[in-house]
Structure 1
Amino acid sequence: MHAHSPNVGGFSFKRVLLGLILSVIFIHFNFGQELQDGQKRWSSDNKLTLDDFKIKVSDTNNEVAYSQFMMTHAISGLDFMKKNMNQKVENIFLGNASYIDTTRVEDLQKQIDFQQMQFDLAEIQARNFRKSALKDKGQLTKGFDIVNKINNEIMAELTAMRMTLIRETDSGRNEEKLAEWKELIATKLKELDEFRFENKEKIKLQK
């Protein structure tokens, strides 16, 4: 007897998992340059809109909407002296690689909000990355093994978080679970507020 994967939005849960594993890219990036066409940095007051999704129609075998994000970092060995790593890690939405099928979505804003929730999950992990990088900055003098370790942990956790969100909310259709997740996300973002990209103030970590 074979076990069957639960369906999410009408297709294999394993297929969703593979898509999400590939949907968050983490690369070393040289900062100081403008965002490229279709890219959008996470912001608390500049949410995703329909125009941010550059692909408007998808294959009918796919989900009705899909978002891809990119976390970038510019951490160097000299950063062991820094008191704030927030500007060293970015969380970016890739509009040119994200779609929303306007021919199949009944409530566009609701689906956009659901994709925003996933962007928010990525922001939680970006803030956790900044916090961990600051906490372990002393190890940077020994090489970048610590950055790779943090990266692997952050990406694995984010994939698991997105999958749980999709499964528990039935791809955004379960209103009760959606409300629970929105509250959880808001709480986590607030807890990690000092690690937002915009904050350049010195951060003193609790021992």
Structure 2
Amino acid sequence: MTVLAYGNYVNQTKNIKPFFTASYYEKDKEPIVKRDYTGELNALFVGTLSENKRPLKVVQIVEDLRNEGVPVTLDIYGNGPLFESLNDYIKKNKLNPFIHLHGNQPLSSVTQAYKKAHFAFLLSRSEGWPKAVAEPMFWGCIPIATAVSCVPWMLTDDDNQTRGILIKELSNASEIIKEYLNRTNKLDEMSNNAANWSRQYTLDKFDYEIEKLL
């Protein structure tokens, strides 16, 4: 029996077929916008506002970066059980000027944000195929993500973080991010690598691969 699994893993048995999902078609591809990583930075969180996704931790990392002098803003897209508590935290700590809750928005609106943003956070405890990583990568937006599910396969080549920033310990996430901000050439390379990798996995290819399985 053939089993479909997201990602490609070492020592994967022959009956397990690496698979993927997608959000965009070939016709959606546009030139990647070159980012400036030396000035104002914009980060995104896209997903359900739930304990598993840890949106509060994303807010706190951005808060830490701001306190350390990093000029970063955060736009949060999504809804869920933590919406009100997040909103209360943002208000209580006077983070409103640079952290914004947008609620659920259509993919077209989120895509416009991906095209301009520098980074996208995914700090989940568990994932399947993380669209909140693959979608921003499609537009050259660098993921900052925990090493869950197939995320390490998506972001690394031979343990080198060539397409995004892996966070293995949340306690030092802001320090890891600051280290990368001092390597703007590396970030330019990451942005391009991320887009090139993600753009292999389109809805056109998804439909083709499904037809092959039927």
The structure carrying a bigger helix percent of its residues is 1
**TM-score calculated relative to the size of structure 1:** 0.27
